[in-house]
Structure 1
Amino acid sequence: MPTWLQKLLTRTGLAPRPIPEALWQRTLAHYPFLAALPAADKAQLRKLTGSFLAKKEFTGAHGLEVTDAMAVAIAAQACLPVIRIGLKYYNGFTGIVVHPGAMVARREVTDAAGVVHHYREVLAGEAMQHGPVTLSWEDASTPGDERGHNVVIHEFVHKLDMYDGAPNGAPPLPSRAARAQWQAVMQAAYEGFRRQVTMAERFGAEWPWLDAYGATSPVEFFAVASEAYFVNRERFSVDFAPLTALFDQFYRPKMAATQ
């Protein structure tokens, strides 16, 4: 018997089928940061999730069957960053590849001396420019924790970053002034976070609660900070107040305008 998602994908040219109520409620119940959304945002997220599912193609790797519940769970998390700004930022790709667990990617890097080094990297997810998003279901199915970790939001924020070109730690912004403001606030937050991580690594200071991976580059800091902004806004807004205000302007423009 065809699944709900299979039926959805056969409705060419028609409005997406509504997500079944029981399936939607199970998704909200599993992810507390989604369940905590205001009613109007939940309704908008449900609508966006249905549209997202009608446009994207899910593929299971290593024999994994992507069920309706898995697809809706991933789609709902992916749509959270664009709940106020729309799905157009995800127009540049179609495929979402879901692995049962972490992936091992082969990497190649050339050092300053011209020597090529080969290594393997364990990944929970990856977003490729002009290509698919790859996710570990083991990680994507995690409800989240107080550190604000969320691999789906992380990778889809990379897609936002890539919308207008190579990733640079900033989403598409409407003006030079907006880009200058973003750069100033983000750079200050990033440098402060790097200092915290360095003090913890070298001198045994307390580790910051935000994932230290964000200290590796401005691109990763944008994605890691966005995870925490959506999953644990209360804690994030205490430690990163200027960044919270900046994110509100981009992710929640109507809210920012009325505050």
Structure 2
Amino acid sequence: MTTFLFIVLGAVALWVLPYYWRLLRRRQLRGRPLNCDQERFLGQSLRIYKSLPLTMQAQLRGEMSLFLQQKEFVGCDGLEVSEYMRIAVAAHACLLLLGRDTRCYPDLYTVLLYPDTYVAREIHRQNYVETTRHSVREGESHYRGPVVISWRDLEQDLAHPELGHNVALHEFAHKLDEEDGYYDGRPLFESSGEGRDWAEVFGAEFRHLRQQRDSEGSQNTGPRVLDLYGAESPAEFFAVATEAFFVIPAALSSHHSALYRELRNFYRIDPAVLYDTNSPAQPKIEK
């Protein structure tokens, strides 16, 4: 009986001790302050930062400290990754984590930065037929793998927020989406009581966007709140909606109030209220 008890206690210790070690390690890494240059780059690259409450600013810096020390940044096609690039990406990735207890993208180890749009190889299989094609991309998120971002496209998104795009927010929204094991447009909620209306609201909005896409075909009639790319799948819809929520929140709140409410509840933040009156003008929205 004593031997059996020692075996059980040993097994429990083998499971519990690594868990608490990782928990303590994350706490230590979050506690390391950003240096002066990093804080300056944060203010320059994340438009909403100075409008955040001080508690949220502190949480954001802590999550960024953890992110920067845990994730490797790799420059591709000759790009030399600067500290400003690292901060800009980390700031937008960690903005999505505020107000919630997270492990800061536990399955992400590498961020790949390309200098510009890049060509990716796609393989499609249907029954016994396999086809290959190449597509030009601004970014992508690999399931349980790296995030890939075109730096030039992110730069343009930061320079023109009125267009409602942000490739970093888009790809890291995919990372949140995958945490429950599926790319399905429904992220992992902290409790079973959350997200009760998510499926109904997102389903209706997604179907409406698909109807818009199908009626317009390949014609893009102008700026809109939700990019038609969101009609590709529920996963892409969630990523596109996340971009609009953080980049053009007033427009999203005005034209898609139920969708805005669901995103506000999930992200624990209300960017339409936080942005001050000096924010760039909202786009002219096509109804």
- TM tier, shorter chain? 0.7 to 0.9
Amino acid at match of 2:119: V
Task: Summarize the alignment of residues 127-138 of structure 1 with structure 2, pairs less than 5 Å apart.
Answer: 127-138=141-152
What's the counterpart of residue 65 of structure 1?
Answer: 80
Q: 1:122 aligns with which of 136, 151, 154?
A: 136
RMSD across aligned positions (CA): 2.8
Q: Residues 40-91 of structure 1, C-alpha deviation per residue, up to 9 Å, x if partnerless?
A: 4333212221121111111111232212111111100111111111441511
Larger Rg: 2
C-alpha contact (below 8 Å) 2:225/2:248 kept by paired residues: no
Amino acid at match of 2:133: Y
Q: TM-score, normalised by structure 1?
A: 0.83
SS at match of 1:146: helix
Q: 1:169 aligns with which of 172, 179, 185?
A: 185
What's the counterpart of residue 279 of structure 2?
Answer: none
Determine the C-alpha separation between the residues in 2 that align with 1:80 and 1:58: 18
Determine the C-alpha separation between the residues in 2 that align with 1:125 and 1:37: 27
What's the counterpart of residue 176 of structure 2?
Answer: 160
What's the counterpart of residue 8 of structure 2?
Answer: none
Determine the C-alpha separation between the residues in 1 that align with 2:61 and 2:239: 23
Q: Report the CA distance between 1:223 and its aligned residue.
A: 0.3
Unpaired stretches in structure 2, ≥5 consecutive residues: 1-24, 272-287
Matched residues, number: 244
Task: Summarize the alignment of residues 12-161 of structure 1 with structure 2, pairs less than 5 Å apart.
Answer: 15=29, 17-111=32-126, 114-142=128-156, 143=158, 144-161=160-177
Determine the C-alpha separation between the residues in 2 that align with 1:60 and 1:119: 24
What's the counterpart of residue 5 of structure 1?
Answer: none
Determine the C-alpha separation between the residues in 1 that align with 2:218 and 2:82: 45
Amino acid at match of 1:121: S
SS at match of 2:148: strand
Between the aligned residues of both structures, percent identity stands at 35
Q: Residues 174-193 of structure 1, C-alpha deviation per residue, up to 9 Å, x if partnerless?
A: 55664552111100111112
SS at match of 1:82: coil
Q: TM-score, normalised by structure 2?
A: 0.75
Q: 33-42 or 163-172: which moved more?
A: 33-42
C-alpha contact (below 8 Å) 2:122/2:133 kept by paired residues: yes
Determine the C-alpha separation between the residues in 2 that align with 1:220 and 1:250: 17
Q: Residues 101-122 of structure 1, C-alpha deviation per residue, up to 9 Å, x if partnerless?
A: 112111121347x533221111
